[in-house]
Amino acid sequence: SQQGEEDPQALSIQEGENATMNCSYKTSINNLQWYRQNSGRGLVHLILIRSNEREKHSGRLRVTLDTSKKSSSLLITASRAADTASYFCATVTIGSSNTGKLIFGQGTTLQVKP
């Protein structure tokens, strides 16, 4: 991919379980963002974490960032069937800070079974 890999590519869990998705990237970043895409639709921004931050929370979402390993993880706790979607990480690299250009990973497809 352009910037890195997402792992796993697909994840299937039962409602109520936690879902963890990982993202790795290649170059130094200004920030890393997670987006959600329901089938065939546009993307919705979930959370942004800056390069000087290590952890961020938003509702049932928890994002961590390890710049030494160039990796991030997204944890969704107490998953619901409505969380079924594809999740993408995207980075703004240091070189693209003034343009805000995002470089996307390949995405993780999450299925939450009722």
Partner 1 sequence: EADIYQTPRYLVIGTGKKITLECSQTMGHDKMYWYQQDPGMELHLIHYSYGVNSTEKGDLSSESTVSRIRTEHFPLTLESARPSHTSQYLCASSEGWDRGTQYFGPGTRLLVL
How many residues make up the chain in this entry? Answer: 114
- The reply to whether 102 sits near partner 1 by the rule CB under 8 A is yes
Is residue 12 at the binding interface for partner 1, with CB under 8 A as the rule? no
Q: How far is the CB of 3 from partner 1 (least distance, A)?
A: 9
Binder of partner 1 out of 92, 108, 110, 112 (CB under 8 A): 92
Give the x-and-dash track for 36-75 against partner 1 (CB under 8 A).
----xxxxxx--x---------------------------
Task: Give the up-direction half-sphere exposure of residue 102: CA atoms within 13 A in the CB hemisphere.
Answer: 13
The CB density around residue 90, as the number of other CB atoms within 10 Å, is 22
Q: What is the contact surface with partner 1 in residues (CB under 8 A)? A: 1-2, 30-31, 33, 35, 40-45, 48, 86, 88, 90, 92, 97-107, 109
